[in-house]
Chains A and B, each alone.
Chain A
Amino acid sequence: MDTNQVILEVSHLEKSFGSHSVLKDIDFKVKKGDVVSVIGASGSGKSTMLRCINLLETPTKGHIYYQGKDITEPGTNVCAYREKVGMVFQNFNLFNNMNVLENCMAGQIKVAKKAKEEAEKNALHFLEKVDMAAYINAKPRQLSGGQKQRVAIARALAMEPEILLFDEPTSALDPQMVGEVLNVMRTLAKEGLTMIIVTHEMAFAKDISSHVIFMADGVIAEEGNAQQIFETPQKKETKEFLARFRQGI
């Protein structure tokens, strides 16, 4: 394993809300081009971990290294870091006061300080990629969930991030819309974008992940490649969790 390739390293990460400890001693590394899926029961800390990586939650203890730099140190330029580590949310969080095109341009103009023409061209490129270019004049409230999520992905891509974090991107969608979002993510994975995906879509996770992390009660209970986790899980919790999923609960 070439350590130069490690783009993100989470080390002894802990997070507690008051006396309630949500994450206990999380450790893992992400290499460039990795597609890491994080699975586990609700409340196991998956989303909190992802939010800690983006610093939307401040870690209680531990370190997160992005390209070798500890971003939990005070004095880190959080905004510059977030520009490089994008996030796609369960509830899309598109800007309601802007149309689709403006949503994909705002960050490029305000944060990346791009010229308007360049930002527009770039936004259209990514909107076309998620097949939403026809809707540039629509407001978020006029779109379906699946359409909103595809725009949200285009908005994140328009910042040209090094890593993209997905926080249950299909959990708020109707079944028929899940597919369109997953297809977009599949394309991104094939193109080599580094992604960390918190998801309940097991078949999808098995299909596209280079690495799978199974979380239970705030710790990484088991990790490995997709084959290891889904076909030959070692831990009792992993087996039980997957068995419940196969039964369709």
Chain B
Amino acid sequence: MISEMNFLERILYILQKYGTSYLKGAGTTLLIALVSTFIGCIIGFLVGIIQTIPVDKTRGKGNRDPFLKRIVLGVVNAVLKIYIEVFRGTPMIVQAVFIYYGMSQLFGIQLGMWQAAFLVVSINTGAYMAESVRGGIISVDPGQMEGAKAIGMNHVQAMTSVILPQAFRNILPQIGNNLIINIKDTSVLSVISIVDLFFVHKSVSGALYTYFESATIVMVIYLSMTLLTSKLLRLWESRMDGDENYELVDVMDIGRQLGTKDKRA
């Protein structure tokens, strides 16, 4: 019977029969992508911030940093670098298998496939975001840090109130990029049996032998999710940039508040 239908009819038939499965799969995909991108951003920010802690490299007596701080930072930075290189340098599909099966064989920890999914996508995103955050921080004009230091701010104060807000705005497009990549790349998690959108496609097309039709449906769903995401992110960006105009304030009012301006009037 399905062989007698034309293309559109087949798509409608599939949607009628498996529509809710596709939607559930899409929901799973979106959930993993959103949560993991969020956790990945937190990891990325932490790693990026640690990597940009300044270390006084002057040799000998003039060095202002305690010896212990330099040793600890050196070791931590080396570990972080390895983390970034390993997770950026290997495919996520392999990482998923490696962590899902590796954790139980090496450490005896039996991860649920959901835990494994969130873990893999989060630390993968974290590795990419770490470099974006580091780039975002070092691309903020060094004068901003000097301006903050010159009024007596320490590194933490300068970072939280001056540098990071600007770095965050700089890397917002990168966060959007990662979210979109994650929406698509969660498809590899079907190797650890996560029933995401791609898994549904594989099952449906396998059962009905309708590869092209199912792929069409899945393409449209993926594209809708990514288009919507990028639209929302653009909106967020323009909201962050704020108003192009500003209001001049009546100086007389300020003067009256301070009790200084009446004379000049």
CB-CB < 8 A to B58: which residues of A?
Answer: 58
Judging by beta carbons under 8 Å apart, are A121 and B258 in contact? yes
A233 CB to nearest B CB, Å: 32
A41 CB to nearest B CB, Å: 23
Residue A66, interface by CB 8 Å:
no
A15 CB to nearest B CB, Å: 11
Contact of B258 among A106, A111, A128 (CB under 8 A): A128
Judging by beta carbons under 8 Å apart, are B161 and A106 in contact? yes
Q: Which parts of B47-62 form the interface with A (CB within 8 Å)? A: 56, 58, 62
Judging by beta carbons under 8 Å apart, are B260 and A128 in contact? yes
Judging by beta carbons under 8 Å apart, are A58 and B62 in contact? yes
Chain B residue at minimal CB-CB distance from A106:
B161
CB-CB < 8 A to A54: which residues of B?
Answer: 150
Separation of A128 and B261 alpha carbons in the complex (Å): 9
Judging by beta carbons under 8 Å apart, are A58 and B64 in contact? yes
Separation of A112 and B247 alpha carbons in the complex (Å): 29
Judging by beta carbons under 8 Å apart, are B157 and A137 in contact? no
Judging by beta carbons under 8 Å apart, are B148 and A79 in contact? no
CB-CB < 8 A to B146: which residues of A?
Answer: 56, 89, 93
Judging by beta carbons under 8 Å apart, are A91 and B254 in contact? no
Residue B112, interface by CB 8 Å:
no
A195 CB to nearest B CB, Å: 15
B80 CB to nearest A CB, Å: 26
Of the four ranges (under 10, 10 to 19, 20 to 34, 35 or more), the interface on chain A belongs to: 35 or more
Judging by beta carbons under 8 Å apart, are A128 and B150 in contact? no
Q: Which parts of B140-192 form the interface with A (CB within 8 Å)? A: 141, 143-144, 146-154, 157, 161-162, 165-166, 169
Separation of A112 and B151 alpha carbons in the complex (Å): 10
Judging by beta carbons under 8 Å apart, are A89 and B64 in contact? no
Contact of B150 among A56, A58, A80 (CB under 8 A): A56
Residue A138, interface by CB 8 Å:
yes
Given A82-B150, A83-B152, A86-B151 in contact, is the A128-B254 Cβ separation under 8 Å? yes
Residue B257, interface by CB 8 Å:
yes
Given A128-B251, A128-B254 in contact, is the A155-B246 Cβ separation under 8 Å? no
Contact of A110 among B64, B157, B260 (CB under 8 A): B157
CB-CB < 8 A to B147: which residues of A?
Answer: 89, 92-95, 152
Separation of A82 and B154 alpha carbons in the complex (Å): 10
Judging by beta carbons under 8 Å apart, are A89 and B258 in contact? no
Of the four ranges (under 10, 10 to 19, 20 to 34, 35 or more), the interface on chain B belongs to: 35 or more
CB-CB < 8 A to A152: which residues of B?
Answer: 147
CB-CB < 8 A to B64: which residues of A?
Answer: 58, 74, 78
Residue B248, interface by CB 8 Å:
yes
Contact of B144 among A83, A93, A99, A133 (CB under 8 A): A93
Q: Which parts of A73-118 form the interface with B (CB within 8 Å)? A: 74, 78-83, 86-87, 89, 91-99, 106-107, 110-112
Judging by beta carbons under 8 Å apart, are B150 and A156 in contact? yes
B42 CB to nearest A CB, Å: 21
CB-CB < 8 A to A86: which residues of B?
Answer: 150-151
Separation of A59 and B58 alpha carbons in the complex (Å): 11
Residue B79, interface by CB 8 Å:
no
Interface string of A165-186 (1 = CB under 8 A from B): 0000000000000000000000
Residue A134, interface by CB 8 Å:
yes
Judging by beta carbons under 8 Å apart, are A97 and B162 in contact? yes
What are 15 A-to-B residue pairs whose CB atoms are below 8 Å?
A54-B150, A56-B146, A58-B64, A74-B64, A79-B152, A83-B151, A86-B150, A93-B146, A95-B144, A96-B144, A98-B162, A106-B161, A128-B260, A134-B250, A134-B251
Q: Which residues of A contact B (CB under 8 A)?
A: 54, 56, 58-60, 74, 78-83, 86-87, 89, 91-99, 106-107, 110-112, 121, 124-125, 128, 133-139, 142, 152, 155-156, 159
- Kindly list 15 other residue pairs between chains A and B, CB separation below 8 angstroms, not including A83-B151, A89-B147, A135-B248: A58-B56, A82-B152, A83-B152, A89-B150, A93-B143, A95-B147, A98-B162, A106-B151, A106-B161, A125-B260, A134-B249, A134-B250, A135-B249, A137-B247, A159-B151
